[in-house]
Structure 1
C-alpha cells in the first residue's frame, strides 16, 4: 500500500467511525496536513484528494465498502466494525488493519510491515 492510499483509507475509516466532518488528514510520517474532503457515509463514499487532484469513491453495506482510487486506478476493500477496520489493497495485493481512537488513527500496513499514524 502506498502512502497516498494509506492516508485516504485512514481518513475514510475515521470519518465513518467518528461520524464527524473533516477537511484534512494529518500524516505523521510526512509531517503534513493533506486536504481531502467530501461525502463519507456507511453506504456511500465520495471524497476528493486535493494533494493528488483525484477522487476516491465507492459504496457498500454493513460496514463493508468497495472503494476505487481514481488516481491509482485500483480497488480497495475497507471493512469497518466498531472502531476497528481492515481491508485489502488490490493494487499492491496487501492487507491492512487499524483502529480509530477519537480523531487519531493507527493503521498497520502488512506490505510495509509497520504502523502509520494519522489524525483528522
Structure 2
C-alpha cells in the first residue's frame, strides 16, 4: 500500500498541506482549472516518519488525482476541498459514505498488500478515473 510505496519511492512522494478551512488555493498558488485545486503551500516539504504515514493527508498524484486512505474517503469536507467527485476504493468492503451527497464510489475488491495482483483491475480503474 501507501506505506510500501513511500518506503520504496520516497523521491516520488510529495508532502502536501491542506489549506485551513478555505475551499480556495492558498495565497501564492494557482489552480490548474475548475475542479482541479492546487493545494501545495510554498514551504519546504518534510518527509513524514513511517509511523506518521497513516495520518498523512491525501497526496496529489496529478492535478485531478489524489492518493489517500479510508479516512480520506470518509471525509466529505476533504473531498469537497479537493474537488473530488469520485472515489476509487481498493478494499474488500465498499463503504459508500457520501453517495447521496454527489460522491460516486467504485470498489476494487483487493487487499492492501504488496502481494495482491492489481493488473486485472487496471482497465476498470482507468475507465472510472
> Which TM bucket (shorter chain)?
0.3 to 0.5
More strand by share: 1
Q: TM-score, normalised by structure 2?
A: 0.32
Max Rg structure:
2
Which has the larger helix fraction?
2
- TM-score, normalisation: structure 1: 0.34
